[in-house]
Structure 1
Amino acid sequence: MKLYTRTGDQGQTGLYGADRVSKAHPRVEAYGTVDELNSALGLARAHSTDAALDTDLEYLQNALFDVGADLATRSGTPYEKNLVRIDAEDVAFLEAMIDRYQEAAPPFTGFVHPGGTPAAAALQLARAVARRAERDVIRLLDVEEANAQVQVYLNRVSDLLFIMARAVNARSGLSEEAWTVKKRR
C-alpha cells in the first residue's frame, strides 16, 4: 500500500465513518492539534531520562490517539462502536496523575517562565499545544455536536503537563524563574 492516496489533494479529508469535509473544518483542526500535541509529547519523551515520566507520557500518547478518534468520529455513525469515547473516568484518572506530580513539585506561588531542563521545556511546549487543542475543541462545539468531555480532558492534560514540567525541574534541582511584573517608569 502506498503512503500517498491523493484523496486529499483538493483540500478535503474523510472523517471516520462519515462524509468528506474541508481540511480546515473545525473538527479536523481539533484532531489535527491533538496530533500535534502527541508529537510534542514524543519530543518530551526523547528529552526525558525519567522512566516513570516516560511511562506516563506513553500513556498520554496512547490516550491522545483515543481523543483524536473521538474527535474524528461523529455521533451516530456505524463506526462509533469501534472506539471508546472520552468520559469523566478518563478525566478523573488525569486528576489523580496531577495530584501525584504535584507532590513532587514546589508549592505554586505564581506564574513561572517555561523552560528549565530540555524535558521540562518540551513539556511546557506540549502544555501550550494542549491549550490550543482545547480552544479548537471549544470552537468545534460552537458549530456542531461533539463529545464535550474531550474539552475537559484536554484542559486536564494541559494542567498535567504544567505540573510534570515543574516536577521535572524540581527533581533536577533547578529553581523556577518567576514572572516579574514590569515596573512603571
Structure 2
Amino acid sequence: MKIYTKQGDAGQTTLYGGRKVSKSDLQIEAYGTIDELNSNIGFLAAHVDDKSILDLLLKCQQDLFVIGSHLAIDFDNPKKLKLPALPVARIPEFESEIDRMDSALKPLTQFILPSGSKAVAVAHISRTVCRRSERRVVAMSEHFDFDPVIMIYLNRFSDYLFVLARYVAHSQGIEDVCWLPPL
C-alpha cells in the first residue's frame, strides 16, 4: 500500500464509498479524532505494566479502528459496504472493569487534578481525547444517522479511562491530587 497518493494535497479526502469532502468536514473531524484517541491509547499502553489492562487497551485500539470505519462511510450514498461489527460487548466489559477498579479506590468526594505520574497523566490525556471524540461524534450524529452504540462506547470508555487513571495512581502508591477551590 502506497502511503502518499497526492490526492489530498488540495485539502480534500475521500470517504469510504467514494465521495470527496473537505478535510475540515465534520465527519473527517469525528473519525480523525477517533484516530487521535487510538494513538493516545497506544501511548498509554506504553506507560502501563498490568497485563490485563494492556490486553483491554489493545482490544480498544482494535475497536477504535472498527468505529472509525463506521464513521468514514459516505452517508449520503450508502452502499452495501461490508463493515466489521461494532464492539457492543465491550461496553459491559468497561462497566465491569470500572466497578472492579473503583472498589479498590477511596470514594471521590471532590474534584481531582489530572496528575500524579506519567502513566496517570497519560491516562487523563487519553480520557480527555476520548471526551473530545465523543463530542465530535455527537455533533456528527446531528447530521447523519448511525448506530448510537458508538456514542455509548465512547462515553463508557472515557469513564473507564478516568477510573483507570485513579487505579494506576493507587497501584503506584500515589494519592489523588484534589482540586482546592480558591477562597
User: TM-score scaled to structure 1, two decimals?
Assistant: 0.90
Report matched runs for 1:80-99 at 5 Å: 81-87=82-88, 89-99=89-99
Alignment size in residue pairs = 181
Counterparts of 1:7 and 1:126, CA distance in 2: 31
What is the aligned partner in structure 2 of residue 43 from structure 1? 43
Counterpart residue type for residue 151 of structure 1 = M
TM-score of the two chains, using structure 2 as the length reference: 0.91
CA–CA separation in structure 2 for the residues paired with 1:132 and 1:13: 22
For the pair 1:78 / 2:58, whether they are aligned, the reply is no
Per-residue CA deviations over 1:79-138 (Å, capped at 9, x if unaligned) read: 1x2321354x44223222222222233222221000112111101000000010000011
Instruction: Report the secondary structure of 1:13's partner residue.
Output: strand
Task: Judge conservation of contact 1:128–1:158 (CA < 8 Å) in 2.
Answer: yes
- Residue type of the partner of 2:65? F
Moved over 3 A (4+): none
Q: Gaps (5+ residues) in structure 1? A: none
| Higher share in helix | 1
* Distance change in 2, residues 1:77/1:83 (3 Å): farther
Letter in 2 for 1:150: I
Over the matched positions of the two proteins, sequence identity in percent amounts to 38
Does the CA contact (< 8 Å) of 1:33 and 1:133 recur in 2?
yes
Conserved? CA contact 2:41–2:126, under 8 Å: yes
State the Cα distance separating 1:74 from its structure 2 match: 4.3
Does structure 2 retain, via aligned residues, the 8 Å contact 1:37–1:129?
Answer: yes
**Deviations for 1:51-88, whole angstroms, at most 9, x for unmatched residues?**
22211211111111111111112453221x2321354x
Structure 2 distance, partners of 1:141, 1:18, is 21
Contact 2:19 2:74 in 1 (8 A): no
**Aligned ranges for residues 16-165 of structure 1 at < 5 Å?**
16-74=16-74, 76-79=78-81, 81-87=82-88, 89-165=89-165
Taking only aligned residues, the RMSD between alpha carbons, in angstroms, comes to 1.6
